């Protein structure tokens, strides 16, 4: 199958260079935060008691601040007014199926197959699989010359859909489905209300704040000011919130991590398999359906990425900051960044292999 396009392909050796300094070295920052957390836990042995003195629901105040800081800038970037535009029915149906049916089911399957003896990490991965990407997918999509408007709309839909669907799906995959399949889920004790509370606090609050920020900011200063001046200023807050949360988590889990480093490494295996299957399967399906490259790429990256900020927040809110479930969420972005950068290169190769290119004036890599 061949589809004509009118957008030039950037040299693949320029992909990493196009990432910002923060995003380019995100695995390094996460690794440094892990090491700093382990060192902090060794020095301050009573840190657990200090952190738990003030709480929001079941989450300590410092951790809650870090989680909310992670989520707010991401949700302030979403173009909520675009939800009803630039998307056709086939793209919407395919994205919803991939994100909310196939993705969670695949992660559930991989978690049980590859981590049958590690129930906490297994549960953490299932929580990750339920959290659909609403942040860095826009970066990967742009690097791969996907449809920017479509990616923004899919992100907006996922943001809103997670409020309604995450709690129900979480209870289904953590409690109901294992019981129906006869799987040993005695180690899992979670109610739908526990998941709902965490979603409402750590997704609902920043979602409302992000929506109001964009609405009021664009009304007061205009879209150009909001996109080019305001968003770049608040964007680093998400990374600082993530790194702060990781430092505290690893400070509290240092003994568990150092005693079983191979168990932690095992978390990476199902994640890598998940990213590969979701992206490749989505892209192949788009080829079969005759989607233009830009649209196909946007749907594939949206399907492959996960919202680790939400997964970490829910895992901490439900199971605690020192839980294996929370640790599984932290390992996620450490694996996701290099994996999806690699998939950017795969996407650009697939474009040359499966799509005929007609050099022409730049159309922004954003429309199909």
Q: What is the CATH number of the domain that holds 157?
A: 1.20.1530.20
For the chain, how long is the longest CA-to-CA vector? 64
Q: Compute, in degrees rounded to 10, the torsion defined by CA atoms 64, 272, 298, 211.
A: 0
174 located within any domain:
yes
CA 141 to CA 226: how far, in whole Å? Answer: 21
Residue 172, burial from CB neighbour count under 10 angstroms (0-12, 13-18, 19+) = middle
Residue 150 belongs to some domain of the structure: yes
Burial 319-334 (b: 16+ CB within 10 A, else e): bbbbbbbbbbbbbbbb
Q: What residues does 55 pair with on adjacent strands?
A: 60
Please measure the distance between the N-terminal and C-terminal CA atoms of the chain and give it in whole angstroms. Answer: 17
For residues 25 and 190, give the distance between their C-alpha atoms in angstroms, rounded to a whole number: 36
For residue 142, tell me if it sits in a domain.
yes
What's the pLDDT tens digit per position in 152-179?
A: 788 778 877 887 788 889 889 988 899 8
Per-residue pLDDT band for 365 (boundaries 50, 70, 90) equals very low
Band (pLDDT 50/70/90 cuts) for residue 337 is confident
Residue 201's domain spans which residues?
21-41+62-351
pLDDT the model gives residue 280: 97
Instruction: Residue 76: name the closest of 198, 241, 298 by CA.
Output: 241
Most confident of 99-113, 199-213, 227-241, 245-259: 99-113
Q: Which of 12-21, 178-187, 198-207, 342-351 has the lowest mean pLDDT?
A: 12-21
Residue pLDDT, tens place only, 240-250: 888 888 888 77
Q: What percent of the chain has pLDDT over 90?
A: 29
Q: Using an 8 Å Cβ cutoff, are 294 and 365 in contact?
A: yes
More confident residue, 272 or 138: 272
- Is 55 part of any domain? no
Rounded CA-CA distance 78/199 in Å is: 18
| DSSP summary character for residue 172 | I
- Residue 280: inside a domain: yes
Please give the Cα distance from 50 to 38 (Å, whole number): 16
- The answer for residues whose C-beta is within 8 angstroms of residue 230's C-beta and 6 or more apart is 217, 221
> For residue 314, which of 111, 163, 213, 119 has the smallest C-alpha distance?
163
pLDDT, position 84:
65
pLDDT at 295 over 50: yes
Q: Tell me, what's the pLDDT at 300?
A: 96
Residue 358 lies in a domain: no
* pLDDT reading at 81 higher than 80: no
Kindly tell me if the per-residue pLDDT of 68 is higher than 90.
no
Domain membership of residue 360 (yes or no) is no
Domain assignment present for 4:
no
Under the banding of pLDDT at 50, 70 and 90, the label for residue 301 is very high
pTM: 0.75
Mean pLDDT value across residues 143-159: 81
- Neighbouring residues of 149: CB distance < 8 A, sequence distance ≥ 6: 82, 85, 86, 366, 367
If one counts the domains in the chain, the total is: 1
């Amino acid at each position: 199958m061949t589809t004509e396009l009118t957008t030039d392909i950037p040299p693949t050796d320029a992909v990493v260079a196009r990432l910002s300094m923060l995003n380019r070295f995100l695995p390094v920052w996460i690794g440094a935060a892990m090491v700093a957390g382990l060192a902090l836990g060794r020095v301050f042995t009573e840190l657990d008691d200090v952190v738990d003195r003030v709480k929001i629901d079941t989450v300590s105040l410092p951790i809650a601040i870090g989680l909310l800081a992670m989520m707010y800038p991401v949700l302030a970037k979403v173009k909520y007014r675009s939800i009803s535009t630039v998307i056709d029915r086939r793209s919407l149906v395919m994205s919803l199926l991939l994100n909310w049916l196939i993705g969670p089911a695949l992660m559930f399957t991989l978690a049980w197959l590859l981590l049958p003896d590690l129930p906490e990490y297994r549960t953490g991965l299932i929580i990750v699989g339920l959290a659909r990407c609403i942040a860095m997918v826009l970066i990967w999509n742009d690097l791969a010359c996907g449809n920017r408007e479509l990616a923004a709309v899919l992100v907006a839909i996922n943001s809103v859909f997670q409020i309604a669907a995450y709690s129900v799906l979480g209870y289904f995959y953590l409690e109901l489905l294992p019981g129906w399949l006869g799987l040993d889920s005695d180690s899992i004790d979670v109610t739908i209300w526990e998941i709902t509370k965490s979603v409402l606090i750590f997704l609902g609050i920043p979602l409302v704040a992000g929506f109001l920020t964009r609405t009021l900011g664009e009304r007061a200063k205009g879209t150009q000011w909001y996109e080019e001046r305001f968003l770049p200023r608040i964007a680093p807050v998400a990374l600082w919130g993530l790194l702060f949360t990781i430092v505290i988590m690893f400070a509290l889990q240092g003994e568990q991590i150092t005693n079983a480093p191979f168990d932690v490494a095992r978390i990476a295996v199902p994640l890598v398999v998940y990213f590969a299957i979701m992206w490749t399967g989505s892209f192949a399906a788009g080829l079969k359906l005759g989607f233009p490259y830009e649209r196909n790429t946007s749907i594939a990256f949206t399907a492959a990425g996960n919202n680790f900020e939400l997964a970490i927040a829910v895992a901490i809110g439900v199971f605690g900051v020192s839980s294996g479930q929370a640790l599984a969420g932290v390992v996620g972005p450490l694996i996701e960044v290099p994996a999806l950068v690699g998939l950017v290169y795969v996407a650009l190769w697939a474009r040359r292999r499966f799509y005929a290119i007609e050099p022409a004036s730049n159309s922004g890599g954003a429309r199909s």
